[in-house]
Amino acid sequence: MNKVFDYIRASQIWRSIFRHGYPDTPRNRTLAVLSNFFLHLHPVKVRRSGIQLSYTWCMGGVTFFLFLIETITGLLLMFYYRPTAELAYQDIFALRENVPLGIMRELHRWSAHLMVISVWLHMYRVFLTGSYKAPREFNWNVGVILLVLTLLLSFTGYLLPWDQLAVWAITVGTNMARATPVLGHEGPGAALVSLGGLDFIHAGDDVRFGLLAGRFVGEGALLRFYVLHCVGIPIAAAVLMAVHFWRIRKDGGISGPL
Amino acid sequence: MGQDIKNLVDFLTSPTLYFIEFTLAIVFALKFRAFFTKKSVITAFFVVMTVFFVWAFGDPNFNRIITKPDNIPIIILLATVVYFSWLSLRRAYINDELIKKGEPTVEASMGKQRVFTWPDLVYSELIFLVLFTAVLIVWSIEITAPIEEPAASARTPNPSKAPWYFLGLQELLVYFDPWLAGVLLPSFIIVGLCAIPYIDVNPKGNGYYTFEERKFAVAFFWVGFLLFWVSFVILGTFLRGPNWSFFGPFEYWDLHKLEPMVNVDLATYFWTGMLDMARPTNPIIREMPGFVSLFIFFVVIPKALEKPLMNKLFNGDRAHLIRYHVMMQLLLWFALIPIKMLLRWTVSLKYIVGIPEWFFNV
């Protein structure tokens, strides 16, 4: 058996991928991290306190992991889901009725719930260890935006099953936008935006209308939320995550006493 | 006996008591942290909660609300938040004791050591990856993602709830109009979170758990996150039923449960109650008492506290003046929430400033 492994490790194919020996010496352990695109997110060496589970709670890592799960399962779901008012519900229903042992929607939904929780706990931990303090102020801000994006990802995804729960939860949520000061038709100051008795802000053009592409949660809102959920917000989140991880390194790695 | 316990739980979870109990729990946990951070305390808590849940499972009303598939994450949220709060406080307590003795914190003594990312870090990452994948797959096989009836814009379900993570904001709608609860206050949460590192200039407690060195910051976040966010999510999920009325965990969701609400504006209290005259018709004059109260709250208070607080926080250095005023505005907006809640519970106050004709109600 060992002979086989040795043969594989000595082959040109293996050596073209991994340019170092088995990582059991300091040199090879360093190379394992430095010469691997994915691992080079990490420094070669880390503070022992920084990888202690009761210090980090691993919640940032869990969030990233759940984001990857969401991406993979979401991609698979996109093959079977058509975001129109006639077909959306049928497609989701068919996923349950016609796919034996299908758990993609379940994985997607439960991971999404967990991701919201893990983001909150990550923020909680970072606050309690004072890790937002200098020099990490900016990265905390990136994190806050990522937290908001996570909630928006979950919120836009909430509508897609197009069942009663989805439509009414989004109705309740987006009704708030009516009351946006100045820009919502039931918000304070909206009446000020008028000219000669003509109201510029009304139910047909206020900020809620822009969000829903209509006066209520309908077909336009479904398409808008679908595009935001599958393309817009994930791209923004992915870019900000890259910044977030890069800044962790640049700001001195996982936080620890100065 | 069983019914008595159920009635007691229903009584104790009514919104007013629920809020007061949660507040007391936070105060006691922080105050008596030497006791509450013991391992036996957290073990006892989880044992009692488990026994309670198992026992309460037999109740049809409790069972119905707890076993909704989408409510499982909120149970997870409750358990993890309690556990991690305990864990952080325990580590803070240990560090504080070490600091008192003049010794380095746990993080400081461990942080001197550097270990290789491979294998120490990548292996725990791998373990977590496998563990979470396994848990998610089992969870997904066991519990099917729910799907309700197809969307019908003519049939409004009762209650209509926002997604669970926004239920804290929906709870605020009991006390505030949508432009505050749904737009302004959430914006302030985001802005406030972003502002934290620029307002908190205390250099201590960077990179380790501590309570004594940053008492206000930690207590503030406990109140903000645990009380006003997580506890409200739990309240909104489990204890709010049709018409957003309160229902205890063992209570049947009766569609016809009506809570009489006779709330009175501040203007009415002032003009009709105190001066015994009709409310003026001009809204600006009518709402003068409210405007004056808000002016005192948002302008006079921060100005009056400027000198003592600037001295205490920034040694009177005027360079921090903007920092101070931004902090005060954010804190006062935050304080407006419990103040309005208390006023509602005690004197049934509806609006401090109420100009419905302009949608301007505070």
Of the CA atoms within 13 Å of residue A183, those in its CB half-sphere come to 10
Mean per-residue pLDDT, B61-75: 92
Domain boundaries, chain A: 1-45, 53-250
Average pLDDT, chain B: 93
Q: How far is CA A33 from CA A23, A44, A242, B121, B130, in A?
A: 9, 6, 18, 11, 21
Across the interface, do A172 and B117 touch by the CB < 8 Å criterion? no
- Dist. CA B20–CA B342, nearest whole Å: 10
Across the interface, do A46 and B193 touch by the CB < 8 Å criterion? no
Across the interface, do B128 and A66 touch by the CB < 8 Å criterion? no
**β partners of residue A163:** B150
Nearest to A62 among B87, B132, B143 (CB): B132
Q: Which residue of A has its CA nearest to B357?
A: A188
- Dist. CA A214–CA A212, nearest whole Å: 5
Indicate the pLDDT class of residue B257, thresholds 50, 70 and 90: confident
Residues of chain B with pLDDT > 90: what percent? 80
pLDDT the model gives residue A97? 86
pLDDT in tens, B169-182: 999 999 999 999 99
Mean per-residue pLDDT, B22-37: 96
Across the interface, do A257 and B194 touch by the CB < 8 Å criterion? no
Q: Which residue of B has its CA nearest to A102?
A: B141
> Before B159, cis peptide (omega within 30)?
yes
Mean per-residue pLDDT, B215-244: 95
Q: Where are the alpha helices (DSSP H) in chain B?
A: 2-12, 15-31, 33-36, 39-56, 60-66, 72-100, 106-111, 122-142, 167-172, 178, 185-199, 215-221, 231-238, 266-268, 283-286, 288-295, 301-314, 321-347
> How big is the A-B interface in CB pairs under 8 Å?
282
CATH topology of domain A53-250: Cytochrome Bc1 Complex; Chain C (1.20.810)
Q: Which residues of chain A have pLDDT under 70?
A: none
pLDDT in tens, B295-305: 999 999 999 99
Here the tokens at position A73 are: 């399962």
This model of the complex carries an ipTM of 0.95
* DSSP-assigned letters across all residues of B304-328: HHHHHHHHHHHTT-GGGHHHHHHHH
- Tokens 């109705």 sit on residue: A171
Nearest to A117 among B80, B193, B360 (CB): B80
Q: Phi first, then psi: give them for residue B158, nearest 5 degrees.
A: -125, 115
Name the minimum distance, in Å, from the CA of B136 to any CA of chain A. 6
Which of A27, A138, A152, A164 to substitute to test the interface with B, most B CBs within 10 Å? Answer: A164
pLDDT the model gives residue B164? 95
Mean per-residue pLDDT, B107-120: 90
Name the minimum distance, in Å, from the CA of A204 to any CA of chain B. 18
Nearest to B147 among A58, A61, A163 (CB): A163
pLDDT the model gives residue A256? 84
pLDDT the model gives residue B261? 77
Is residue A248 within 8 Å of residue A254, measured between CB atoms? Answer: yes
Q: Phi first, then psi: give them for residue B150, nearest 5 degrees.
A: -60, 155
Domain boundaries, chain B: 2-105+208-244, 116-145, 266-361
E strands, A105-246, in order: 194-195, 198-199
Q: Phi first, then psi: give them for residue B112, nearest 5 degrees.
A: -65, -30
Q: Which residue of B has its CA nearest to A172?
A: B162
